[in-house]
């Protein structure tokens, strides 16, 4: 069976996990805060199924990398941790060291699986209704009787036949939270401009008609009806320097200015209401399920 590094098999694998990267997660012993290493890589089969986590044991066992079957790991993205299921320090010391320069073959994987098959505090699930007879031992895919180790063959070994190492246990199911974005509308009041209202003085030439009176002297010479009649000495009184005086008057316009109220200008604001539609791209998480041709039920 050929195994591949995750990034070699799918260079854009991070897009599938919405940006999450299993590489770099801390590995902890189940039920404790004891860190035993860090995930340095993931190995997948030719169908892309996760089979092993490559764990750098760091200072727990200095400088050693080992393989952790997926069925013995519980990934918790909420705390960015991987918890091992039933892996002891003694088992880790017995595991063959992983060397990425060497080709992984059935014999190497059997050495790895043989360590994890050793009795530990981890008890793999057993189907209670499975037949416990001699013929079952001849079938490598049949459940083994309690207290015995099933036989495996190079030619017909399948990962699905050993769910205790490569299957997901019921208690290790995780809840995936799928998020979506929604548009939330709010209003923000902002100044868009300013209107200034003032006044200024303009000049113009106004005209007004004023009737006036002017006095003038009119001298009339007339011939009296008794002209040519001799006048008595008493009537004919010749006096030198006699003068008649008449005062002459005229009116001149007297114009003054007065201010009168012409109009009032009232300034106020009114609020116009309208509905504005806007649009934006929102994201929604959808569930991707890789069944590997196995039947599943969604509820």
CA distance 108 to 299: 40
Check if the beta carbon of residue 70 is closer than 8 Å to that of residue 290: no
Pick the closest to residue 23 from 65, 63, 61, 59 (CA basis).
65
Pick the closest to residue 61 from 42, 25, 28, 36 (CA basis).
36
> pLDDT tens per residue, the chain (299 residues)?
788 888 888 888 777 666 678 888 999 988 788 888 899 999 998 888 889 999 998 877 877 899 999 999 988 878 888 999 878 888 888 889 998 888 888 899 999 998 888 765 444 443 333 333 333 333 433 444 444 455 677 888 888 888 888 886 545 544 455 678 888 888 888 888 888 888 899 998 988 898 989 889 898 888 888 887 877 767 777 777 778 888 999 989 888 888 898 888 888 888 888 888 888 898 888 877 777 777 776 76
């Amino acid at each position: 069976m050929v195994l591949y590094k995750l990034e070699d098999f799918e260079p854009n694998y991070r897009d599938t996990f919405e940006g999450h990267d299993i590489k770099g997660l801390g590995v902890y012993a189940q039920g404790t805060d004891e860190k035993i290493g860090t995930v340095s890589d993931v190995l997948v089969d030719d169908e892309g199924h996760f089979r092993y986590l490559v764990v750098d044991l760091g200072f727990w066992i200095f400088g050693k990398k080992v393989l952790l079957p997926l069925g013995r790991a519980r990934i918790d993205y909420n705390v960015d941790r991987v918890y091992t299921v039933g892996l002891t320090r003694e088992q880790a010391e017995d595991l063959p060291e992983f060397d990425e320069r060497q080709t992984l073959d059935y014999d190497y994987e059997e050495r790895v699986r043989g360590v994890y098959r050793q009795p530990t505090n981890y008890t793999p699930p057993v189907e209670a209704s499975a037949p416990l007879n001699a013929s079952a031992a001849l079938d490598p895919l049949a459940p083994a009787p309690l207290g015995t180790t099933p036989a495996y063959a190079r030619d017909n070994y399948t990962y699905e036949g050993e769910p205790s190492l490569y299957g997901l246990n019921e208690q290790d199911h995780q809840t995936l939270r799928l998020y979506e974005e929604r548009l939330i509308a709010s209003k923000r009041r902002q100044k868009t401009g300013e209107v200034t209202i003032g006044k200024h003085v303009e000049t113009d030439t106004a005209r007004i008609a004023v009737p006036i009176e002017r006095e003038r002297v009119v001298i009339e010479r007339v011939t009296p009806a008794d002209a040519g009649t001799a006048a008595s000495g008493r009537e004919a009184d010749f006096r030198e320097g006699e003068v008649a005086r008449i005062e002459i008057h005229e009116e001149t316009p007297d114009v003054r200015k007065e201010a009168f109220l012409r109009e009032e200008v009232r300034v106020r604001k009114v609020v116009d209401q309208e509905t504005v539609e806007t649009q934006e791209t929102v994201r929604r998480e959808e569930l991707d399920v890789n069944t590997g041709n196995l039947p599943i039920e969604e509820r």
